[in-house]
Structure 1
Amino acid sequence: MRNITLFIFVLFLVVDIGCSRLITSRNTSDSDLVSDGLNDVYDQSPYLLLNPITSTVACEPMYGFLPCAPNIWGHLFLIVVYQYLLYLGDCYVSNGSELMFSVLGPGIFGASAFQILGVLPQVILSLASGVLGSKETAQAQVADGLGMLTGSTVFLLTLLWGTCVVVGNVDLLEDLTSFDTKATKRLRVLESCVTTDLQTTITARIMILSTIPFIIAQLPYALGFSGGRIATLIALIVSFTFLFIYCFYQVFQPWIQNRRLEYLMHKFVEDILLQKLFTRGGKPNETMIKALFQKIDKNTDAYITSRELKGLILGIQFQEVGLNEEDFVKMVVKEFDCSGDHLIDEKEFVRGISKWISDTKASNDKKTRRTWKLDNDSDEETEEEQDLLLKNTNKNVQLPKNNPFWSYVKAASLLVLGTCILLLLASPLTSTVVNLSSAANIPSIYISFILVPVVVNYRRAIAAISSILQRREQSASLTLSEIYSAAFMNNIVGMFTTLGTMYARGLEWNFSAEVLVVLMVCLVMGLCTSICKTFPLWTCLIAYMLYPLSLMLIYVLTNIYGWA
């Protein structure tokens, strides 16, 4: 059977007559080919011609290797990926600058470079939006960059500010008793508030000044005058002057760094040290305080020196708030040392710790009682945790103290790596936003105003909310001050880079809608917080409503009135 099948197959091959043709494209010259002579026999062309490719490439990869997308969902996916990578770059830059700050301490770096590095992502995105491409492309991308800067300021002063007020008031709910009626509870909740200090109002007033460059750049177009390029140059000079004065002021009047130092001391007291030294009744546990004194006193000379005190407190991550550990140790010794001999004996230690406990208990009594009841289930467990704290702090201190060179290397490496990531992905993100807006027929201002600021300020928002969770006047003052300072730096540095790019490339200023939104939010929030120290819970509604109002204002001005 197998042989018969093979025979029939061979027979078909012999009987049938076949021919072949050369496969080529239509662009190939016929003079280069030789005919097989069968075109006259079978009335066919001797060549099998392929139709040329008529479809065009839908997208062109950035830098030749980054991916691109031809549709809306692809653009959305790329924006998410680029945003996440930019977030990682921002984290590297922030960690590097904070580590460098922790090594160098307050001063010129803390007043200038540390704060400028805090807005580095916004600066790079703003620069990348107008440096590359043609003049028309740069004009469109600068609009997206300014939209991102505007969105960041609005996000900080509306959504983040309102959330901080809500979180700072939550703890007051614990004062309500079961005997209170629903109406009474509702009234007491509405009457709860967040209280700040005088320096917070000063910071808010400084933040208002950051709107002056916006006004200068917009003034000729608002009045219908010519000379927009001159106004751009003047606004650029004013932005640089404000930035220089702000940094210069912080060098010689470093009250912000001093507030951070004071904040860190109380943060350390409440979160790390005092948790182990409360009794179940919320009073100082002198037995545990004396036991802690013995553990710190390594040479058993009945005194604690500054060097021994570092073994306890240097495990705290000082770079999170940008402080030098030496300053913190000096403040603790100054507060504890009543005799003035730069040594702390047992009585001074017990007295100082007890004072800290009393101050903390008075400011947040119910919160501390609840926390310490959970953390002090037994004295034995507390002592074991204290031993672990001491071991961990000693381990954490060794590297930066004995090897400061490697701290500089690590900080510089993080800064370089984060900056490279931001520089590499800033322009692709801006281009992807423009492509998405074109594909979805949505103005790119909404994408850059909403999506980009949330990712860029995500890390700052988490830090602010975590800080104000302490629910004290001091933490609330520092948190809101940081928000105002971030808005100031975002406005000034962002305008400086944007105006510099526009002036260098000869671009036009046509951002009236964005300017009006920034002025509205900064003036409303700045004036309210510069004259008030107490913010009831209902004030968060004002901040929250300003965000959708800003979006609505941009839509009305751009789509209905045709503002640029």
Structure 2
Amino acid sequence: MWCGVLLDNNLAESRLSSDDTGASSMAEMGMSVLAGSAVMSLTLIWPSVIVFGSYHLADDDETILPQLPDEELSFLTKLTAYGLTTDSETSYTARLMLVSMIPFLILQLPPIINSPSVARVIVLIALIISLSFFIAYIVYQNKLLKLLSINGKANVQLIKNLYKELDKNHDGKVTSAELKTLLMGIQVQADGELSQDLVDRIMDQLDITGDDSIQEDEFVRNADEEQQEALIPKDPNVNAQTSVWEYLEASALILIGIVVTILIARPLITNIANFATDAHVPSFFIPYFVIPCAIGIPRLLSTIASASQKTQRAASLTLSQIYSGLFMSNMSSLSTFLLTVYIKDVAWDVSAEVLVVLVVCVVMGIFTSTRTVFPLWTGFVGYLFYLISILMLYLLTVVWGWS
């Protein structure tokens, strides 16, 4: 396991001098970071949606939290009286995350069978499945964005229904915060994060009157392609050609991303080894805590800000973002790992990381896909699950030496 490389800088350099060992360490490093990121997403970021987005369940009308004095309820009472609800689409997104566990489950077979030739075939099968899932999900998201049009013309009624979903307080205006929940739900940025600058720019584009809100006629007008045809002539063949090129471009970006990751991962291991040695940081914390925190803290803050709207829609879209983002992260990271292992044909052992990702994602996936009501206590149980997951990783990798 790559954590062993971090224990001694000289040992790390000697191991990285071998191409095969370097490739193996590089691949296993990616899986270690994947395990740490998955644990953080589902046991730190996910519970924060419940804790910071909770409201009184008795007044669940998808509006802001009722003005009830805090002293009326004790903390223990709030654990069940407060919480949030989600829509059925959120449960569906959680099931999609569960589907991403299929290649992880397949990777449990090589240590059991203990045959190098069979293990190589299993790696290839898992690679094909993970790449297929990754590409299919990109196509799926692209299809969702096209549902607002019919034969190249705006589906005005569907657009109006979407506007009503956004305008939760029914004041005839969509604010920047309400728009942000929609953009988070449809994953307009591949990295799962959403900058306020992007929201502001989209708001400026839609806000024709400049009153810092979007009225229904503005929303429909900007989405209506018929009004744009007078300005931009359209070729009837452009849509089909563009669609094909979009898929080809998406596939090319996936391959480029994987290649770039492979190229930069090896020097990253060396730098992490140097950092761990110089800073006297225990090697275990680097992939499972330090790197995930560096990546996930901005996303955590953004998630808390969105969940703080305390509406069912905000909670549903925020949780859906977590599930879909984890699906993309699982498939892209696993594809990179499997591609490296298969091409280099190197020895690998990430059974501990794969097992922890399986346990955390399956437990949280089943729990969140079978219910739409989440009392406040579920958030604190989620935080507790983080400590359990980190302890599980420590026991498997350091104490019992699985990797």
Q: TM-score, normalised by structure 2?
A: 0.66
Q: Which has the higher contact order (CA 8 A, sep 6+)?
A: 2
**Count of residue correspondences:** 315
Equivalent residue, structure 2, for 1:471: 310
What do the CA deviations read for 1:72-98 (whole angstroms, capped 9, x no partner)?
xxxxxxxxxxxxxxxxxxxxxxxxxxx
With over 3 angstroms needed to count, the CA separation of the structure-2 counterparts of 1:425 and 1:532, relative to structure 1, is same
User: Could you tell me how far 1:441 is from its partner in structure 2?
Assistant: 8.2
Give the deviation of 1:175 after TM superposition: 4.0
* In structure 2, distance between residues paired with 1:223 and 1:194: 45
Q: What residue ranges of structure 2 are gaps of 5+ in the alignment?
A: 1-7, 10-14, 58-64, 149-157, 179-194, 209-213, 228-252
| Correspondent of 1:538 among 363, 371, 377 | 377
CA 1:264/1:447 → structure 2, altered by over 3 Å: closer, same or farther? farther
Distance in structure 1 (CA, Å) of the matches to 2:177 and 2:86: 25
CA–CA distance in 2 between the matches of 1:224 and 1:263? 57
Is residue 505 from structure 1 mapped to residue 344 from structure 2 by the alignment?
yes
Q: Cα offset for 1:482?
A: 0.3
8 Å contact kept, 2:51–2:380: no
| Contact 1:517/1:554 (<8 A) preserved | yes
Q: Distance in 2 between matches of 1:477 and 1:509?
A: 38
Provide the C-alpha distance between the structure 2 equivalents of 1:318 and 1:262, rounded to a whole number of angstroms: 22
The code of the aligned residue for 2:30 comes to: G
Q: Structure 1 residue 190 and structure 2 residue 80: aligned? A: yes
Please show how residues 220-299 of structure 1 align to structure 2 within 5 Å: 220-226=110-116, 227-254=118-145, 265-266=166-167, 269=173, 271=175
What whole-Å deviation, never above 9, does each CA across 1:247-288 have from its counterpart, x for those lacking one?
Answer: 2222333499999x75994489364699xxxxxxxxxxxxxx
CA contact (8 A) 1:243 1:493 kept: yes
Does the 8 Å CA contact 1:263/1:478 hold for their aligned counterparts?
Answer: no
Q: What is residue 152 of structure 2 aligned with on the other side? A: none
What is the CA distance between 1:196 and its match in structure 2?
0.6
Question: Aligned residue for 1:218?
Answer: 108
Aligned to 1:145: 30
Distance 1:149 1:245, change over 3 A: same
Give, in angstroms, the shift of residue 434 of structure 1. Answer: 2.4
**TM-fit CA distance, 1:170:** 6.0
CA distances 1:361-419 after superposition (whole Å, capped 9, x unpaired): xxxxxxxxxxxxxxxxxxxxxxxxxxxxxxxxxxxxxxxxxxxxxxxxxxxxxx9xxx9
Letter paired with 1:466: A
Residues 262 and 533 of structure 1: CA distance in aligned 2, closer, same or farther (over 3 Å):
farther
Preserved contact between residue 262 and residue 340 of structure 2 (Cα < 8 Å):
no
Instruction: Indicate the residue corresponding to 2:295 in structure 1.
Output: 456
- Number of the residue aligned with 1:333: 217
Does 2:10 match 1:135? no
* Structure-1 residue corresponding to 2:396: 557
Question: Partners of 2:263 and 2:402 in 1: how far apart?
Answer: 33
1:462 corresponds to which letter in structure 2? L
CA distance 1:471–1:523, shift in 2 (3 Å): same
1:176 aligns with 2:68: yes
Which residue identity does 1:489 align to in structure 2? Answer: M
| Whole-angstrom distance in 2 between the partners of 1:178 and 1:557 | 43
Q: CA deviation at 1:177?
A: 3.5
Change (3 A) 1:501 1:476: same
Alignment partners' CA distance in 1, 2:269 and 2:198: 32
* Distance apart, 1:496 and its partner CA: 0.7
1:483-522 to 2 correspondences below 5 Å: 483-522=322-361
Task: Report the CA distance shift for 1:253/1:168 in structure 2 as closer, same or farther (over 3 A).
Answer: same
Could you say if the C-alpha distance between residues 256 and 214 of structure 1 is closer, same or farther in structure 2, counting changes exceeding 3 Å? farther
Q: How far is the alpha carbon of 1:197 from its aligned partner?
A: 0.4
State how 1:44-63 maps to structure 2 within 5 Å. none
Q: CA RMSD in A?
A: 4.3
Q: In 1, Cα distance between the equivalents of 2:381 and 2:16?
A: 38
The TM-score, its normalising length taken from structure 1, stands at 0.48
Structure 1: segments with no counterpart, 5+ residues: 1-69, 72-129, 275-315, 344-414
Q: Please state how far the C-alpha of 1:433 moved relative to its aligned partner.
A: 1.9
Structure 1 CA distance, aligned partners of 2:321 and 2:84?
Answer: 15
Comparing 323-332 with 473-482, greater Cα deviation is found at: 323-332
The aligned residue for residue 240 of structure 2 is none
Distance in 2, matches of 1:422 and 1:138, equals 12
Q: Which amino acid aligns with 1:319?
A: L
Query: Which piece of structure 1 moves more, 476-485 or 505-514?
Result: 505-514
Task: After TM superposition, give the deviation of residue 246 of structure 1 in Å.
Answer: 1.3
- 2:50 is aligned to 165
User: Structure 1 residues 273 and 486, CA, compared in 2 at 3 Å: closer, same or farther?
Assistant: closer
Based on CA coordinates, which of the two structures has the bigger radius of gyration?
1
Corresponding residue SS for 2:112? helix
| Structure 2 partner of 1:319 | 198
Distance 1:188 1:442, change over 3 A: closer
CA distance in 2, matches of 1:148, 1:273: 32
SS at match of 2:54: helix
Aligned counterparts of 2:293 and 2:274: Cα–Cα separation in 1? 20
Q: Could you tell me which residue of structure 2 aligns to residue 412 of structure 1?
A: none
Q: Secondary structure at the match of 2:291?
A: helix
Query: What amino acid does structure 1 have at the position aligned with 2:143?
Result: F
Question: What letter corresponds to residue 134 of structure 2 in structure 1?
Answer: L
Q: Kindly state the Cα deviation for residue 499 of structure 1 after the two structures are TM-superposed.
A: 0.8
- Number of the residue aligned with 1:526: 365
Q: For 2:96, which of 203, 206, 211 is the aligned residue? A: 206
Q: Is the 8 A contact 1:144 1:448 kept in 2?
A: yes
Cα distance in 2 for partners of 1:484, 1:322 equals: 26
Read off the aligned partner of 1:560 and give its amino acid letter.
V
* One-letter amino acid matched to 1:332: E
Distance 1:179 1:561, change over 3 A: closer
Q: Structure 1 residue 545: deviation in Å?
A: 1.7
Partner Cα distance (1:133, 1:426) in 2: 15
Going from structure 1 to structure 2, the CA distance change for 1:327 and 1:269 (only over 3 Å counts) comes to closer
The answer to whether the 8 A contact 2:207-2:218 is kept is no
